[in-house]
Structure 1
Amino acid sequence: MKVLGIDTSSEVATAALLAEEKLVAEYILNHRHTHLEKLVSMIDRLLSDSDTKLEELDAIAVAVGPGSFTGIRIGMACAQGLSHVHGIPIVGVNTLDALAHNLMHCGDFLCAAVDAQRGEVYACLYRWEGAELMRFWDYEVIKVEKLAKRLTDLNGNAVLLGDGAVLVESALPEEVKSSGKIVVAKRPFAMPRASSVAEAGLKDLKEGRTFNCFNIRPFYMRKSHAEEKWEERYGKGKPGKSDH
């Protein structure tokens, strides 16, 4: 089985090709928000370099959020277009779940935290128990200080992942930082990786949890800033575009 992974839910644009027996290729661009102009060429090069045709793919795994509203739409639109033209099933992968796959089989708690702006993060707590990823909290939007307090009270060590990790770390008490109880993952493991999206997607594919280009939906945990402002001013209606 071959799965193309895509994640553009943050400032990182990443694509990967995963086969059951190995990671074939992975490209990561953590430079600027240029997803719209870079993603298609990134996927084209990924497949070309790995001598893989789109028709050979068994599924496309795409990060559906939470994260940047604009970034999520770009990644999903690309996956939907490829699915529609080539008849490839799509697997929707939660961004927080994908981050937890960056440190598979880690014995510590894993806290995925994605910057939601306004002093908040999208967050969830996990731990690997053998080959199973256990989720301890519901996905939530939470103030950075509140999350730092909850992690401090954990009975165990925790590793922070995602672009919200440094925000949470900055809110920790100094004694907790110096103790090493809660740490930020090393940079290659803290950022979104399409290989992790593909890994999570491969599991869903095997279990038959797939979508097509028409029925997959993004996972937005709150309304965009534009929607909130629109409803404040005009009531419910059609807002403009925004991010996060």
Structure 2
Amino acid sequence: MDRSFMILAINTSTLQFGLALLEEDGTVLAEYFMSERGGHFGNLMPALLFLFSSLKSDIHYVKGIAVAMGPGSFTGLRVGLSTAKGLCHALNVPIIGISSLEALASQLSYSDLPISPILDSKKGEVFTAQFVWNEENEIIRDMEDTCVKIEDLPSLFDEPTIIIGNDYVNQGALLKNILDTKVLLAPTHQWNLKPSSVGFLGLKRFHAHDFDDLQGLNPLYHRPPDIRPNPFSPHNPEIH
């Protein structure tokens, strides 16, 4: 099979970070997940090499890189973007920044209802937005990113809305206690942001030649960093 064209997708904005390789037509060639409980961002490059080795392919066939831009983990966003930028520079290929919320919403394909993705913002709050599918089967933003307390989510919606998140164990359990008739939870198997979802949106923009500026692209933090003392090194605080 000719694999001389591939899009690499990177997601490090959520607890479950990973990589995906997609062909020109959107076929997912390989996808790799790693939970923060089972590894750390140091596994990112070994995982990338593993994907190419499994496909018996080469990184020089990558023609563009799509990277999740957040909102999400401060550390994760910096790692993902710096990795993507370094690879784009080395391979001389374009970079495409993708909203993590948009990618998460896109996993509910062709829903008739508005979709509200949520990502943890710490302190009992979540980042959210709202998206809808139009008649051309394109996902369209219907509300800008915002940060709210999770119990206030239902008050944002004027019509039945589907919520999809990235931490069903914690977010889903809490949401079940505050749901009203206009808020529905997406099926549990669709929770967790897939790197291939980042790749699908990136591939669409690649074909439209809608690229980002390599030097000017910055993460979507949407809030100041939460700096805490690092118990292992008082001179190096942890940033979340």
Q: TM-score range by the shorter chain?
A: 0.7 to 0.9
Moved more, 64-73 or 74-83: 74-83
Larger CA deviation: 115-124 vs 99-108: 99-108
Q: Which residue of 2 aligns with 1:197?
A: 198
Instruction: Give yes or no for the alignment of 1:13 onto 2:10.
Output: no
**Superimposed CA distance per residue, residues 165-207 of structure 1 (whole angstroms, 9 cap, x where no aligned partner):** 953762565673xx6x533323332101100000011111122
> What is the number of residues matched between the two proteins?
228
Using the size of structure 2 for normalisation, the TM-score is 0.85
Q: CA 1:175/1:68 → structure 2, altered by over 3 Å: closer, same or farther?
A: closer
2:46 to 41, 44, 52: 41
Q: Which residue of 2 is the match for residue 23 of structure 1?
A: 28
5+ residue gaps in structure 1?
A: 230-238
The 3-state SS of whatever aligns with 1:137 is strand
Alignment of 1:72 onto 2:83: no
In structure 2, what residue type is equivalent to 1:13?
F
* Aligned residues of 2:116 and 2:161 also touching (Cα < 8 A): no
Is contact 2:14–2:166 with CA below 8 Å preserved after alignment?
no
Of 81, 87, 102, the match for 1:97: 102
Task: Determine the structure 2 residue equivalent to 1:236.
Answer: none
Tell me which stretches of 4 or more aligned residues in structure 1 moved more than 4 Å: 171-175
Partners of 2:102 and 2:129 in 1: CA distance:
8
2:168–2:191 Cα contact (<8 Å) kept:
no
Q: Give matches, 1:204-223, under 5 Å.
A: 204-223=205-224
Larger helix proportion, structure 1 or 2? 1
Q: Which amino acid aligns with 2:89?
A: H
Shift in CA distance, 86/218, structure 1 to aligned 2, threshold 3 Å: same
Work out whether 1:126 is the aligned partner of 2:131: yes
Residue 123 of structure 1 aligns to a residue whose secondary structure is strand
Using the alignment, how far apart are the partners of 2:66 and 2:119 within structure 1?
Answer: 19
Q: CA deviation at 1:108?
A: 2.1
- The DSSP-based 3-state class of the residue aligned with 2:28 is strand
Percent identity over the alignment is 28
Q: Which amino acid aligns with 1:112?
A: P
Contact 2:164 2:190 in 1 (8 A): no
| Aligned Cα root-mean-square deviation (Å) | 2.5
Residue identity in the other structure for 2:8 = L
Q: Tell me if 1:52 matches 2:57.
A: yes
Match of 2:218, SS state, is: coil
Q: Tell me, yes or no, if the aligned pair for 2:105 and 2:164 is still in contact at 8 Å.
A: no
Contact 1:113 1:162 in 2 (8 A): yes
TM-score (norm. length: structure 1):
0.83
Deviation at 1:69, TM superposition (A): 0.2
Mean CA deviation greater in 141-150 or 38-47: 141-150
CA distance in structure 2 between the aligned counterparts of 1:219 and 1:174, rounded to whole angstroms: 28
Amino acid at match of 1:242: I
Deviations 1:123-159 (A, max 9, x none): 01112123111211111111212213224xx322423
Residue type at the aligned position of 1:211: D
Change (3 A) 1:165 1:81: same
